[in-house]
Amino acid sequence: MDSLELTVITIVAMSAPLIFAVIGETITERVGVVNLSMEGTLLITALTGFAITIWTDSLYLGILSSALIGGFIAFIIVWINFRFYINQIAVGFIFTIFLWKLSSYLGGDFVRIPGPYLNKITIPILSEIPFLGPIFFDNNILVLSSIILIPLSWFFLFRTNLGVNLRAVGENPIAADARGLSVMKYRFIYSVIGGILIGIGGATFSLEVKYGWSEGHTLNYGWIALAIVIFGGWNPVRASVGVYGFGILQVLSLKLQSVTIGLSQILPLIPFPLMILTLVLIQSANKNEGRWFPKPIRLLIFGNQPQSLGITYKKDS
């Protein structure tokens, strides 16, 4: 394997957790819910995945329990929003701090234990194909599913009736309700599914990318994921491009670490100014000033924020 091929494989593998998290959050936000707790959820599920795997000696049970925890957290956030009408952002923020610190308390016993990790599933012959072979036919199940998830989630959101319905709830809950879609049901179901994906992302991190557990294990990944969701214009494919772009930045910063420490710390922060820029562009596109962009470029860089994103829904009675 030459070094370019190796680099590509590395990027694809290390991006897997973010792919899960970003797509999970994209689905959540598409139905109108902000799960701001991502940073905390990723940490606690990374720990869960690792700890359960050690206890039960089963990687699959580890992943499963991370998924359940991720889904449960999302459920609680939506429940508090529907039951008490407390702002999703406030709840998400509190959960971020709570789960983050909870993970460092509970994780105390697991720090630097050599951890289990997923084996690769190698398919003979096919795995010999340059580039595609090692990615698709000589990889572990999590990386593989992260790649499959990209077109799958896109297809679900934009090409199935359920996808249209769930986006309708996020766009205009009142209109969706008038058409007989239960806003509460949709928000619960798809936020939980999104939370499950974020949970799997957490497990992927500790079982596949950075084996094991340390305090603040997934440092800043939750915030980065939030930024990439926006950069991706709430579209799984574009968001994944953002994730892989971020992967390239990370590899670069690893390589540059020997040259200068500084750059390696600053490069991972690039998604944030890009997020702000994207938001600015999206907003100007809706006004007249964005019209000077040629149409294909506009379609490429602009996206539409779900109109009811983060807004508490109260059926008027």
- Site residues, other proteins (CB under 8 A): 36, 80, 84-86, 89-91, 93-95, 97-98, 100-102, 104-105, 108, 159-162, 164-165, 167-168, 171-172, 174-182, 220, 223, 226-227, 230, 260-262, 265-266, 269, 272-273, 275-276, 279-280, 283-284, 304, 307, 310, 316-317
Geometric angle at alpha carbon 9, from 6 and 12, rounded to 5°: 150
Which CB sits closer to other proteins, 116 or 268? 268
As a whole number of angstroms, the distance between CA 63 and CA 73 comes to: 16
Which CB sits closer to other proteins, 6 or 111? 111
Looking from the CA of 302 toward its CB, the CA atoms found within 13 Å total 18
Based on its alpha-carbon atoms, the radius of gyration of the chain, rounded to whole angstroms, reads 20
As a whole number of angstroms, the distance between CA 298 and CA 221 comes to: 28
We find the least distance from the C-beta atom of residue 163 to other proteins, in angstroms, to be 8
Looking from the CA of 225 toward its CB, the CA atoms found within 13 Å total 37
Pick the closest to residue 205 from 215, 217, 216, 197 (CA basis).
217
Segment (H or E) for 139 = strand 138-139
Which CB sits closer to other proteins, 142 or 282? 282
Which CB sits closer to other proteins, 72 or 136? 72
Which CB sits closer to other proteins, 130 or 159? 159
Which CB sits closer to other proteins, 125 or 259? 259
We find the least distance from the C-beta atom of residue 197 to other proteins, in angstroms, to be 21
Which CB sits closer to other proteins, 146 or 278? 278
We find the least distance from the C-beta atom of residue 193 to other proteins, in angstroms, to be 17
We find the least distance from the C-beta atom of residue 96 to other proteins, in angstroms, to be 8
We find the least distance from the C-beta atom of residue 58 to other proteins, in angstroms, to be 25
Backbone φ and ψ for 260, nearest 5 degrees, come out as: -145, 135
We find the least distance from the C-beta atom of residue 212 to other proteins, in angstroms, to be 18
Q: Is 47 helix (H, G, I), strand (E, B) or coil?
A: helix
Q: Is 87 helix (H, G, I), strand (E, B) or coil?
A: coil
We find the least distance from the C-beta atom of residue 173 to other proteins, in angstroms, to be 10
Pick the closest to residue 238 from 228, 227, 249 (CA basis).
228
How many residues are given for the chain?
317
We find the least distance from the C-beta atom of residue 128 to other proteins, in angstroms, to be 35
Which pair of tokens denotes residue 96? 């971020």
Which CB sits closer to other proteins, 185 or 255? 185
As a whole number of angstroms, the distance between CA 317 and CA 314 comes to: 9
As a whole number of angstroms, the distance between CA 55 and CA 228 comes to: 34
Amino acid present at 175:
A
